[in-house]
Structure 1
Amino acid sequence: MTVLDQCQDAVAASAVIKQLTTEKKNAVLRDMVEAIETHLDSIIAANAEDVAAAREAGTSATLVDRLTLTERRAAGLTAAIRTIIDLPDPGGRVVEGWTRPNGLRIERVLEPLGVIAVIYEARPNVTAEVAALCLKSGNCAILRGSSTAMRTNRAIMAALDAALARHPGVPAAAVQLVDDPSREAALELMRAKGFVDLLVPRGGPELIASVERNATVPTVIDGAGNCHLYIDATARPEMATEVVVNAKTSRPSVCNAIETLLVHQDLVTDWLPQALDELAAAGVEIRGCAQVRDAWPKAVEATVDDWATEYLDLVLAVRVVSDVDEAIAHIREWGTGNAEGIVVQDIAVANRFAREVDSGSVFVNASPRYSDGGEFGYGVEIGVSTQKLHARGPMGLASLMTAKNVVWGSGQTRTVA
């Protein structure tokens, strides 16, 4: 079966999926949980083969980390689906309504987009999470993973197929895995205009560039995470240290880990050296501007490239700034719109930062590592949008919906002036 065949099947299935009741969708999701638990040994075994092959091929530690299903992450597959079951069904919800002077009642009603395609690298958890998000929102899912995670994705898909098979009224094409990891298959999915209603790429710069260059279907870009944390002069020192260490070291391989630390000049003597000592003790390599190196001589000299780099590793660029204006200007020049943070006690500075920083998520006195659909209460996310149309930031169920205008009348006719 070609990718286009799968897209056509998904379009046909979407007419059925959008009509399913909340109770029916939740029943399928509960069976997906049970099926994944039943297949868990085979999923973990398949993942072990993928991880071993990736290491043998010299795959980067970052991608290996994203590929690996630890015991905790494997348990997270079912935990994520259970969370989605408990979320309200967005389908059919009237988000606003008003009555015109002529008596017409206008309602904006949420309905599914239709067919959602995701192209992703490593991250086998995406297979289960996107399937569940799409089903709960009344959409069909077409999943194209990378060759790196193909064994794991197939094992997870086998579990999802088993769950769908328990419900004869639910088309098997509701969730499909593209079993071809070739570039040609990805291009075919990118160009399935008229079949795919939304494409979300989740991967590195090469994948994103390919989608931007080749896609003819609507896309939302899950882009780079060149995230920043600004420590203001009014920050509480202990809080600032805790937040920056967490934001860099808790899981450096993900897109919501910070890559640049911006520090107010008043903190260079008293706070900065101690904070950098703690980061270095956690294995972080510091690349700093001249003022940073004067205060902490072990830092490597930072170059312009460091301000632009998403390291996804235990490397941190550090720059001293004169005030919040310079911090905002730096973020405006180098940020990617993913997640930015500030540690501050001056509410006026906090409000300025939150208002003026152009990003999908802004954190005040909290780690940007919270930029995550699960942490936001969305259950899980299909991706983190770094653009502004039609979604921004972590994308949950609501981002997989569109709104249509339903107009209620009592026989009104329009008079043409």
Structure 2
Amino acid sequence: MMSPISDSQTESRARAALRMARRVVVKAGTSVVANADGSPSLTRLGAIVEQIAELNQAGIEVIFVSSGAVGMGKNLLRKQAHLNMSFKDLQMGGNSGLNPVQDAAIGATGVNTAAGRLSPHTSIGDLLTVDEHMETSAAKSFAAAGQFELMNLYQSLLSPKGVTASQMLLTQADFHDEHHLKNLRYAVERLLSLGIVPIINENDAVSVVQGYDDGKPVFTDNDSLAALCARTFGAEVLLLLTDVEGVFNMPPSNPKAKLLPFYHSKSNVSIGEKSAQGRGGMAAKIEAAQSAVRPGSNCAACVIAAGSDLTSIRSILSPAYDPDFGPAKGTLFATSGSDLEKLALEELVNALEDEESCSELARDMAIKARKEARKLMTLPHATRQSILNAVADALVERQDEIMQANQMDLEAAQKNNTSLQLVRRLKLTPDKSATLESGIRQLAAMDDHLGVVKAKRELSEGLELSLTTVPIGVLMVIFESRPDSLPQIASLALASGNGLLLKGGKEAHHSNTALHEVIGDAIERGSNGEISRDIVALVTTRGQVKDLLALDDTIDLVIPRGSNSLVSYIKANTRIPVLGHADGVCHVYVDKSAKEEDACRIAVDSKTHYPSACNAMETLLLHKDTLENNVALNVLQSLRSEGVKCLGGPKAMQNGLCDLATNKMKEEYGDLVCLVEIVDSVDEAIDWIHRYGSGHTEAIVCDEQDPVGEEFLMRVDAACVFKNTSTRFADGYRLGLGAEVGVSTGRIHARGPVGVEGLLTTKWQLRSSGGVVNLACEFDGAEPKKTFTHKELIL
């Protein structure tokens, strides 16, 4: 049995107990072993074999139950047979052209199938698509051909790892007959004692599912076979690898489906359709799991997990696995009434309580931020200016502290082999700090944006209406990689009187924590204690983000700053309005009238000034005439001399401008890479931009006097459209906004770089004057007491 559970484990103690097992059964289903066409999945098989080898070398005895022989045999015969030959023709002695294995698969005329009998004119194609029930002769033939290939594959993968495997093909009789079973147990024990991995499969070529004394078969598929092996051979843990992450409370295709970390007697599960491959479905796997851990069995636990996850075996069973690498995977089953079940149930209850506590914490953070924001909006403009200047001062005074924290993140990124693109965004530099300080002071020096009267109207004599600016309320900004975003966003929220919840990427954890501490201290100092640091909260866990996205009654606007997948996830998981952009596919179009030097400088700056920024050029469009005047060649030479890889579209390749082709016409590279293409006219350039652009920033390079520039500015539909300037100007600081909370490509509320004004909304104020109240009923009827004037007033 498994060793006692250690209290020192940082992960779930129930899951930690699984790593102490010394004998395990791992079962891989057909959908894991093979692709849809029956061919072996070398990626998944390679990962499985590597992890089994790790367990074997760690002294853990592994029994591997593998499906896939039928599918592999079917694929093998499909590749080798002449599909257009009739069944009768293929039977002609010595003339079929098939090897004995293929002849065996074909058999005699009139082979029995589940659907009836095959006619003398049934083709091999028909044979290969018959029902794969184990009672069919076709399926038995496929198994005979596929099992040999499957074992050869396993042996070739395991041998380089120093692991020896043996094949065991079992039938119902091997478990039903006491003499057979005794020999079988001895054989398995002997193999395991020698460090050999038994690879077990049902002998599909001869096996017949049949009942015995109790009227039930010993096993019906490889799931139940794996459970039977776990009980029979004294395994402590059974791992069933399948095509889904585990057991869900409803079919995984349902967006509301939730993975069950622990399956118990009261678990409510709705089973969907089974995979098109294999005989078992989720119902069969649940039944097999429950069978494996039934009382009286040495098998204390079973986990159903995803075989497509290339680290499932390691993360669930390896003693050397670091739990910090990821959460527990799959669904755990435990013996009813066992200590393991009690512990798992206790942890499940605690997790639910933690989730509830987390939700309450998230709501509390949002409520506190709103409370402080409402106080801030009523304070004088000078108070907000003082807070902003205090933040700018703190960033300078405590720069060493911030840089040290950032260095910790950079070192962690290096250990984790983080991409260079991400590291560039992660790194804080003195230049970035100087830009932050300058932008925040620019914000502080601006006129007050709050309480600004946008319009005045007299509705009637003594009744005046005004439209004034007010904060949106509570913002949540989720950003990836770039810690310099935190002080920018916080400063904009403070300048606009909004409460703020921030969530940065885990790769910038130390940097974000340090910056949040510095800004919090500055807020309280700059306001003389009138405003608490709670106005800017830092969200630190993934669970909190999920909870925050559900607080549509407390949070007013979500602003994601990051990848397309991040933006898509947020939009799909919240009812809170979302402001932002998913892609930053920006174009520079070089017109025929462009000067060579201008075109080179703008293209290079747009691409290389900060390649990972969302406003960097990703596509260079060149007018066809630039090929003749050498502008195109010089622009490309300038880009290449700066280390830019230029990928060619169809026309660019035809004209020999690029060496490497691409078929992706819309791509955000975020690196020193760009697409180059030739267009015939400004019309084609604009059509291209509208088709492949993201509505972020588009630029034209042309002669200053050429009307094509103004035409481009007018016709291109994007948040930012520039003439003879770099796309990098699409930035809140450069456009004089002080900073930006993000760039919006939407059309509602705010568009382009979003500064203070983009974080404001308006409210109507209606005032009666002259000591008279106004009633709506006084304006009704044919002869009203009062009449509307609706006269616009000068501000």
TM-score band, normalised by shorter chain? over 0.9
User: How far apart are residue 101 of structure 1 and its match?
Assistant: 6.4
SS in 1 for 2:466: strand
Q: 2:497: which partner in 1?
A: 138
Is the contact made by 2:585 and 2:667 (CA closer than 8 Å) also made in structure 1?
yes
SS in structure 2 opposite 1:308? coil
Q: Corresponding residue for 1:273?
A: 633
Quote how far apart the aligned CAs of 1:342 are.
0.5
Match of 1:150 in 2: 509
How far the C-alpha of 1:74 sits from its partner, in A, is 2.4
3-state secondary structure, aligned to 2:523: helix
C-alpha distance in 1 between matches for 2:748 and 2:591: 32
User: Which of 674, 682, 689 does residue 324 from structure 1 map onto?
Assistant: 682
User: Are 1:219 and 2:219 matched, yes or no?
Assistant: no
**Aligned AA (2:674):** L
Cα distance 1:277–1:139, how it changes in 2: closer, same or farther (>3 A)? same
* 2:708 aligned residue: 349
Q: In the alignment, what sits opposite 2:698?
A: 340
- Residue identity matched to 1:211: I
2:707 aligned counterpart, secondary structure: helix
The alpha-carbon distance between structure 1 residues 71 and 41, as it changes in their structure 2 partners (threshold 3 A), is: same
Letter matched to residue 495 of structure 2: K
Report 1:104-123 matches (<5 A).
Answer: 104-123=463-482
1:92-107 equivalences under 5 Å are 92-100=451-459, 104-107=463-466
Contact 1:93 1:110 in 2 (8 A): yes
Aligned ranges 1:117-266 → 2 under 5 Å: 117-166=476-525, 167-180=528-541, 182=542, 184-266=543-625
- Amino acid paired to 2:599: A
Q: Is the 8 A contact 2:599 2:631 kept in 1?
A: no
Q: Is the 8 A contact 2:480 2:562 kept in 1?
A: yes
Percentage of identical aligned residues: 33
Distance in structure 1 (CA, Å) of the matches to 2:474 and 2:580: 17
One-letter code aligned to 2:644: V
Residues 647 and 658 of structure 2 are in contact (CA less than 8 Å); yes or no, is this contact kept in structure 1? no
Task: Tell me how far 1:104 sits from its aligned partner.
Answer: 4.2
1:382 alignment partner in structure 2: 741
Using the size of structure 1 for normalisation, the TM-score is 0.95
Q: Does 2:420 match 1:61?
A: yes
Q: Distance in 1 between matches of 2:775 and 2:706?
A: 54
Aligned residue among 377, 380, 399 for 2:758: 399
Shift in alpha-carbon separation, 1:298–1:227, aligned structure 2, 3 A: closer
Matched, 1:416 2:780: yes
- Which residue identity does 1:136 align to in structure 2? A
Are 2:633 and 2:657, in contact at CA under 8 Å, matched by a contact in 1?
Answer: no
Q: Is the 8 Å Cα contact of residues 200 and 222 (structure 1) preserved in structure 2?
A: no
**In structure 2, C-alpha distance between the alignment counterparts of 1:140 and 1:249, rounded to whole Å:** 36
Q: How far apart, in 2, do the equivalents of 1:27 and 1:291 lie?
A: 57
2:581 counterpart letter in structure 1: D
Q: Is the 8 A contact 1:273 1:296 kept in 2?
A: no
Structure 1 residue 294, shift from structure 2 partner: 4.2
**Structure 1 Cα separation of the partners of residues 458 and 524 of structure 2:** 45
8 Å contact from structure 1 (residues 373, 395) kept in 2 = yes
Tell me, yes or no, if the aligned pair for 1:257 and 1:368 is still in contact at 8 Å.
yes
Asked if 1:90 is matched to 2:454, the reply is no
Paired residues in the alignment total: 413
Contact 2:588 2:699 in 1 (8 A): yes
Q: Could you tell me how far 1:338 is from its partner in structure 2?
A: 0.8
CA distance in 2, matches of 1:278, 1:347: 24
TM-aligned CA distance change 1:267 to 1:187, over 3 Å: same
**Secondary structure of the residue that 2:739 maps to in structure 1?**
coil
Between the aligned partners of 1:241 and 1:144, the Cα distance in structure 2 is 39
In 2, Cα distance between equivalents of 1:33 and 1:215: 34
* Structure of greater relative contact order (alpha carbons < 8 Å, 6+ residues apart): 1
For 2:659, give the aligned amino acid.
A
Deviations 1:206-235 (A, max 9, x none): 211111100111210233110001111111
Quote the residue 1:359 is aligned against: 718
Shift, 1:34, TM fit = 2.5
Offset, 1:327: 0.6
**Displacement, 1:412?**
4.3
Q: Does 1:370 align with 2:370?
A: no
Partner of 1:283: 643
Does the CA-based 8 Å contact 1:232-1:342 persist in structure 2?
yes
Alignment partners' CA distance in 2, 1:276 and 1:73: 29
The one-letter amino acid paired with 2:668 is: E
* CA deviation after TM superposition for structure 1 residue 98, in Å: 3.1
Q: CA deviation at 1:103?
A: 6.4
After the TM superposition, which of the residue ranges 244-253 and 376-385 deviates more from structure 2? 244-253
- Which residue identity does 1:416 align to in structure 2? D
Q: Aligned with 2:378: secondary structure?
A: coil
Give, in whole Å, the separation in 1 of the partners of 2:748 and 2:569: 19
Indicate the larger mover: 104-113 or 293-302. 293-302
- State the distance in 2 between where 1:177 and 1:383 align: 18
Q: CA deviation at 1:244?
A: 0.8
Runs of 5+ unmatched residues, structure 1: none
Task: Give the aligned partner of residue 407 of structure 2.
Answer: 48
Which has more radius of gyration? 2
User: What's the CA shift for 1:102?
Assistant: 6.1
* Contact 2:468–2:765 (8 Å) recurs in 1: yes
CA deviation profile, 1:360-388 (whole Å, cap 9, x unmatched): 10001111110000011000000000111
Q: Distance in 2 between matches of 1:377 and 1:60?
A: 32
CA 1:224–1:297: 2 relative to 1, 3 Å: closer
How far does residue 78 in structure 1 lie from its aligned partner after superposition? 2.2
Report the equivalent of 1:14: 373
Match of 2:569, SS state, is helix
